Amino acid sequence: MTSFAFITGSSKGIGKDLANLLLSKDFVVHGFSRSNSLKHYNFHHHKTDLANINKINSISFPKIDNVKEIYLINNAGEIGNITKIGNKLSSNIIEEVNINITAPILLSNLFIKTYKSIQSRLTIINISSGAALRPIHSWGTYCISKSGIDMLTKIINEEHPNIRALSIYPGVVNTEMQEKIRNTSDEEFPLKQKFIDYFNNNELSDCKTVAEKIFYIMSNLSQFEQNHISLRDF
């Protein structure tokens, strides 16, 4: 039977590598992003901007019957303007919150509403961050929204025992976000050197490896009793 996956942020980084991996495993994949370079007969791109609340609300999920499993993977994330609360533009805060937590809440709500009555296995995977667990200087909006992602995972598991929700912590990954962090001024981000050292010491995970670990979890859900999983653990 066919497996379906809906992935936000499918145009680059973890989202793109995960989409490619799932396509190689005969998944039907729907990607949501501003742009797209993936070409595959089982890939369906939905051009959207998750920073825009009206664009999020215009998203719909297709009717699906008689499939093995359906995944929603809330992968899109934005660290935004790296600066202290009190220095940020209100417009930047709104965009960052929309991408990082408003979109996942709205899409999870729509996903559950659309598919809760069918017999397929439903799983929601939220890509979280270690930033959800502690405050990081100048990452305020990102920390706040990622902690919200973890609570979304808990709420879904509390309210819908037949749907599995997971928060996955990828670790420090070689993405455009890391490059942005390294290029931030020392004044704005006092921990900058730590992230430069990660890069210089080849301590960043690559997106392909992260995608493979996420797929392993998807393929072996029964082995994972916990719903908050750090990829550094395996």
**Strand, coil or helix: 77:** coil
Q: Which amino acid is at 128?
A: S
Distance, CA of 134 to CA of 114 (rounded, Å):
34
Q: Which of 25, 24, 20, 19 is nearest to 6 (CA)?
A: 19
142 as an active site residue: the answer is yes
How far is residue 219's CA from residue 172's CA, in Å, rounded to a whole number?
Answer: 23
CA distances from residue 141 to 75, 78, 144, 180 in whole angstroms, order as listed:
17, 10, 5, 16
Can you say how many angstroms the Cα of residue 56 is from the centroid of all Cα atoms in its chain? 15
Are the CB atoms for 11 and 35 separated by under 8 Å?
A: yes
Which residues lie across from 166 on neighbouring strands?
A: 125
How far apart are alpha carbons 46 and 10 in whole angstroms?
10
What is the Cα–Cα distance from 13 to 71, expressed in whole angstroms? Answer: 19
Catalytic-labelled residue, pool 41, 71, 115, 142: 142
Q: Which residues are catalytic?
A: 142
